[in-house]
Each structure stands twice: as structure tokens, then as C-alpha cells.
Amino acid sequence: MSPPTVKQVIYLKTKWLIEDYSSYLINTYRSILRTWDTAPLDALGHLAKALLPVALVFVGYAVFNNNSSSTTTSATPAQPRLAPRPGSQASILQGKTIQAERERAAAEGKKETPSIAKTTSMMSAPAVSLNAPLSTPISPAELAKHDGNSPDGKIYVAIKGSVFDVSAKREMYGPGASYNVFAGKDGSKGLGMSSLKPEDAVSDYSGLGDKEMATLDQWYSFFEKRYNIVGKVAE
């Protein structure tokens, strides 16, 4: 006797499964009828348990069918966009549009790219016409009188021993202004440190590092190009 084929095996197992499930449903139905009046909750539990396989079959079928539809839809190639018929109004209009875009692109390509304007830093900008530097000795006490509070309104700032007349910039160095801490004194150390603390605005800058010395030199160059040198600090 030859062994059963795969189709026969599937048929027999399906038949047995249906027969067993049918028998199970009949027994469950009888159990529900017996317990409905005395224990309705138990009866509902039997009913839910009996219908669960059917519900799972329907859910599985729905999911499988939905996935098949999605795959078919995504696999469908997009329809190619048809080009306008040669000689038609749409074809002529499309040609004119393409030509206009090409001409505009060519015209823009010929335009010179605007160059970035060269900016000059505040430290290197040229100053106004200045007088010849003076070497008149000015004592620290005399220098201190020119902090913007004197009757003549003079404001002196000393850097590395050179005394600059900054009276024209009273809004920057006058009383209450940002840089008044340097008025009437040699504040070289504070300038090198970029510090506005009064305790740093002193003449001894020997402890400055290389970067701070470079900053101090920049400040000296800045003042030298803008303000007249009216003397030298005499200790």
C-alpha cells in the first residue's frame, strides 16, 4: 500500500479538526444550556472560549488579506508622465519655458559676484591730523589733576609713560564714562589685561604675558594714531 499524498494528509487532518471542533461546539452549547440559569457567567465563559478559534481565524484572514493588498498596491509601478505631443500648444509652451529658464540662468551666470568689502579694525584705522609728540615731563600728581574733573576739562591718559590728551572723547573717558578708570593716570597694566578694575589700572606692566603685552601695544598704537602726545610721565 502506497503512503498517502500530502493533499490526502491535509484533507484528513482538516476533516478531523472540523469534526472535533464541531463536537466541541455541540458539547459547549449543551453546557451553556444547562448552566445558563444557575451560573450565567460560567456560561458566557464557555461561549467565549468556544468562539475564540473562530475569531482568530477571521482576524488572521483579515490581516493576510490587508497585507496582500498593500503589497500589490506598492508593487504597481507609477504610470509614466506622458510628454506633450510634438507641435501641440502644450509642447510649444513647454519649449518656450525651458528656453526662458536657460537664458535667465546664462544671464545670472555672467553677473559678477559682489566682493566682500574690506573692513578695517578699530585698532588700525587712520587718525586725524595730529601735532608732533611732546616730551614735556608730567608728574603723576599733575597727571592725576587731568581726570575730567578739573576746571579746564582736560583729560589725560598715559600708556607706557606717554601722556595722551583724550579730552575730545569726554563721552568715553570723562567722569562716569566706561574708560574713566584710566583717566588721570598711567593704566598700562589694565589696558594690557583688558580690565576695567581700578586696582589693575597701574603703570607697572612688567608682569604681563606675551598676549597681554601684544594687547597693550595695540592700545598704544590705537592712541598714537588718534590723540596728541602732550608729554611723558616723570617719576
All 3 cell numbers of residue 129? 591730523
Q: Is residue 177's pLDDT more than 90?
A: yes
Average confidence score pLDDT of the chain: 76
In terms of phi and psi (left: phi > 0; alpha: psi -120 to 50; beta: otherwise), the region of 74 is: alpha
From 67, 82, 115, give the residue that closes a domain.
67
In this model, does residue 116 exceed pLDDT 90? no
Mean pLDDT of 3-18: 64
Does residue 126 contact residue 151 with C-beta atoms inside 8 Å? Answer: no
Q: Which residue has the higher pLDDT, 53 or 163?
A: 163
Better-predicted residue by pLDDT, 176 or 64: 176
Using a pLDDT cut of 90, give the percent of the chain over it.
43
Where does a domain end: 51, 67, 83?
67
- CATH number of 182's domain: 3.10.120.10
**Predicted pLDDT at 93:** 56
Q: Is residue 164 part of a domain?
A: yes
Question: Among 12-16, 83-87, 100-104, 222-226, which range has the highest average pLDDT?
Answer: 222-226
Distance of CA 110 to the CA centre of its chain: 34
- Pairing of β 156-159 and β 137-138: unpaired
Tell me: pLDDT of 88 over 90: no
Domain end position, chosen among 67, 86, 116: 67
**Are 223 and 145 part of one and the same domain?**
yes
Q: Which of 8-12, 57-61, 198-202 has the lowest mean pLDDT?
A: 8-12
Residues 61 and 146 in one domain: no
Residue 113 belongs to a domain? no
Structural domain contains residue 124: no
Q: Domains in the chain: how many in total?
A: 2
Q: What domain range includes position 219?
A: 137-233
In a domain, 110, yes or no: no
Determine, yes or no, domain membership for 155.
Answer: yes
Tell whether 84 is covered by a domain.
no
Higher-pLDDT residue of 170, 51: 170
In a domain? residue 104 = no
75 in any annotated domain: no
Report the pLDDT averaged over residues 150-167. Answer: 95
* Percent of all residues in the chain with a pLDDT value above 70, rounded to a whole number: 56
Longest dimension (CA), the chain: 134
